[in-house]
Structure 1
Amino acid sequence: MVQTIRIEAAARERAGKGAARATRRGGMVPAVIYGAKQEATLLSLDPRDVMKELHKGGWQSHLYEVAVAGAEPVRCLMRDVQFHPVSDQPIHVDFQRLAAGQKIRVKVPVHLVGEDVSPGIKAGGVANLVRRDLEVLSDPDNVPDFFEVDVSTAEIGDTFRWSNVQDHKGTSPTLARDFVVLTIAPPVVVVEEVVAAPAPAAAPAKGKAKGKK
């Protein structure tokens, strides 16, 4: 199950660039929650909370619960963050409200099974993960921790696709094709380049040969 991250926020009454600038002058980051056919909710966030999430990485796949005093927390996704062109500090955050039954777009890591017995890997082949994370649509309450691919019988040159993932765990891929997840690449052969030593320079002639009279 995906972890729900709670963020405390304050309500913001006025929209527009002037109101947003005033929010920033007060040391806060303006934000908005939109979607699910509801009126947009204007917020202000502590910039430290925003930076904490950005430093984690993968913030677009996390599930957030934005809490405003006096209102029910809102389950949403952080969809976009705008940054100051000079300081790189966040200056605006967009959240997407989740509707009932709506799936979320997440990235799930790939784990390999059977590497220690794979004939191809034993022969020197290398498991080349084309996609270390798979982007899928998932129920927000049942996001997989990882996907498994069994390579125990893999030979050099084998290719594993989405259809080879052992259990899709109720998710569907965002790509509408049976994409490549990993290949068993042949071993890398290192060829040492031999540089020939330069030929010794010819010795200079000691003098001209005397001709016969």
Structure 2
Amino acid sequence: MKVVAFERNLQGTGASRRLRNSGKTPGIIYGAAAEPQLIELDHNALWHALKKEAFHSSILDLEVAGKSQRVLLRDVQYHPFRQLVLHVDFQRVDANKKLHTKVPVHFMNQETNPAVKLGGAIISHVITEVEIECLPADLPEFVELDLAKVEAGQSLHAKDITLPKGVSLVAHIESENPVVAAAAVPAGAAADAAAEGAAEGETPAA
């Protein structure tokens, strides 16, 4: 994805307020052994870009003054109640250094899962993004967790996620292996099933 930004010479609260009043958002680019660079972006274009999942988890081509840099979005500050982006941070990417970043988890085959279709189970998404490490060229926009065979009462963990080649879970996620999705049968559905079972087991009175 390509993003166009402009050099920003003024900094401070007053300068940032004037920028926002003119439809711009202040930001910064840092990292990769280079000096931090102050930038400004068109607020409306940025607002729409932030609604796209890939903008948060993909390497972006950020163009400033005709020069393109490869960056990752690292932080976004929003106004507490207005639809306003206050500030954005981008980190430069080194092609030869592994990234540690979070990517979204896409849950596959939930609708066709037998426990959901036939057993009344509800699958909860405990974690919707997971922290990975990989070289920039291997960075996926998302990773997938297959829910086709999970049964009621079962959970799927981080290690059950299908990871593309060259991608691994960061060390602490690998060791903790947290629950990502869990299938449970609501109490009402379980009680109904138990009642049906009891009714089927009854024998007519003589």
Matched, 1:46 2:54: no
Matched, 1:112 2:105: no
d(CA) in 1 for partners of 2:105, 2:177: 17
Shift of 1:75: 1.6
Q: RMSD of the alignment, in Å? A: 3.3
Q: Which runs of 5+ in 2 are unaligned?
A: 193-206
d(CA) in 2 for partners of 1:29, 1:106: 25
Identity %: 28
Of residues 19, 23, 26, the one that matches 1:23 is 19
Match of residue 185 from structure 2? 186
> Taking structure 1 as reference, are residues 164 and 114 closer, same or farther at Cα in structure 2, changes over 3 Å only?
farther
More helix per residue: 1 or 2?
Answer: 2
- Report if the CA contact (8 A) 1:138-1:171 is conserved: yes
> Which 4+ residue blocks in structure 1 deviate beyond 6 angstroms?
none
For residues 72-131 of structure 1, give each alpha carbon's deviation from its aligned partner in whole angstroms, at most 9, with x where no partner exists: x11212222334456442232221222233323222312137945x4x556515251333
> Taking structure 1 as reference, are residues 88 and 159 closer, same or farther at Cα in structure 2, changes over 3 Å only?
closer
- Report if the CA contact (8 A) 2:144-2:163 is conserved: yes
- Report if the CA contact (8 A) 1:110-1:134 is conserved: no
- Report if the CA contact (8 A) 1:147-1:168 is conserved: yes
d(CA) in 2 for partners of 1:128, 1:86: 32
Q: TM-score, normalised by structure 2?
A: 0.69
- Report if the CA contact (8 A) 1:127-1:182 is conserved: no
Q: Which runs of 5+ in 1 are unaligned?
A: 193-213
Q: TM-score, normalised by structure 1?
A: 0.67
Which has the higher Rg, Structure 1 or Structure 2?
1
Q: Which moved more, 1:178-187 or 1:40-49?
A: 178-187
Match of residue 177 from structure 1? 176
User: How many positions carry a matched residue from both structures?
Assistant: 183
Shift of 1:42: 1.2
